[in-house]
């Protein structure tokens, strides 16, 4: 996604929204066990950042907001 020669960034960012970037807990446990010696956590963070810039957000987080954009904590409004 960071390669300036990449021409389909929008399509690829849209595709990864439903393929795990928001499921990752960012615990870093993937780094020491990665069989190809990369740091997947850094890539996931980069994809999340690019997703945010393009208007995407964690689907589980967005469900905690009311229609007016204010946080909804499930309790009574004061």
At 58 the pLDDT is: 86
Tokens standing for 78? 């004061």
Alpha helices in 1-78 (DSSP H): 9-16, 30-33, 40-53, 59-62
Ramachandran bin of 20, using left for φ above 0, alpha for ψ from -120 to 50, beta for the remaining angles: left
pLDDT truncated to tens, each residue of the chain (78 aa)?
Answer: 777 888 888 998 998 898 778 988 899 998 899 899 888 888 899 999 999 999 998 887 755 566 666 666 665 555
- Phi, psi (5° rounding) for residue 19? -130, 35
In terms of pTM, does the model score above 0.85? no
At 36 the pLDDT is: 92
**In which residue are the tokens 């929204």 written?**
17
Q: Cβ(22)–Cβ(48) under 8 Å?
A: yes
At 18 the pLDDT is: 83
């Amino acid at each position: 996604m960071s390669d300036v020669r990449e021409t389909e960034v929008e399509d690829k960012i849209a595709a990864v929204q439903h393929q795990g970037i928001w499921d990752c807990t960012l615990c870093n446990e993937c780094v020491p066990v990665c069989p190809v010696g990369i740091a997947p956590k850094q890539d996931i963070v980069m994809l999340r950042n690019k997703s945010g810039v393009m208007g995407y957000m964690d689907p589980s987080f967005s469900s905690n907001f009311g229609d007016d954009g204010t946080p909804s904590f499930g309790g009574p409004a004061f």
